[in-house]
């Protein structure tokens, strides 16, 4: 699967996001080393802070499916990942992070480039 195809999967997921408050639908598609794709969307809540990011949902689904740090080769996201999700992607050692900026350009960076000097225990 190419990065473009993975981003297309993230776009498909974004259409299923639950974002009635912000109206900002986000989709994420994780590509595991075994070739499987796991999706996630943002899920908002009337109690605003309870809302969760698309990357967070995708990672939770991947962990539920049995994947662990090091098992994920790439993630495509329809928006620039927030600070917290950068830390999450770093934890799982996702190799490549492909995302679409607000201006429509698509960039590929590593978690370390996205979050230098990352917190670790
Ligand atoms: N959002 C994500 O899903 N991922 C990010 O990395 C950035 C922000 C969502 C959260 C919220 O539902 C909406 O975008 C607007 O902030």
Residue 120's pLDDT band (cuts 50, 70, 90): confident
Q: How far is CA 72 from CA 22, 48, 113, in A?
A: 29, 30, 17
Q: Report the residue among 21, 42, 111 best suited for mutation to probe ligand 1: largest number of ligand atoms under 8 A from its CB.
A: 42
* Mean pLDDT along residues 22-38: 98
Q: Domain spans of the chain?
A: 3-114
Q: What are 51-110's pLDDT values in tens digits?
A: 999 999 999 999 999 999 999 999 999 999 999 999 999 999 999 999 999 999 999 999
pLDDT at 52: 98
pTM, two decimal places: 0.97
Residue 55 is among the residues annotated as catalytic for this protein: yes
Does domain 3-114 fall under CATH 3.40.140.10? My reply is: yes
Provide the angle, in degrees to the nearest 10, between the axes of the packed helices 54-64 and 3-14.
110
- Reduced to 3 states, what is the DSSP secondary structure of residue 58? helix
Distance, in Å, from the CA atom of 19 to the CA atom of 45, rounded to the nearest integer, reads 8
Distance, in Å, from the CA atom of 97 to the CA atom of 82, rounded to the nearest integer, reads 12
Question: What is the overall mean pLDDT for the chain?
Answer: 97
């Amino acid at each position: 699967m190419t990065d473009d195809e993975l981003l297309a999967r993230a776009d498909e997921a974004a259409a299923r996001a639950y974002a009635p408050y912000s109206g900002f639908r986000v989709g994420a598609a994780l590509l595991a080393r075994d070739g499987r794709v796991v999706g996630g969307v943002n899920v908002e809540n009337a109690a605003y802070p309870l809302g969760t990011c698309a990357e967070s949902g995708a990672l939770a689904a991947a962990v539920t499916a049995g994947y662990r740090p090091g098992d994920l080769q790439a993630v495509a996201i329809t928006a620039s990942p927030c600070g917290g999700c950068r830390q999450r992607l770093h934890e799982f050692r996702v190799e490549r992070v492909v995302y679409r900026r607000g201006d429509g350009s698509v960039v590929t960076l590593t978690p370390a480039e996205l979050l230098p000097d990352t917190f670790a225990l």
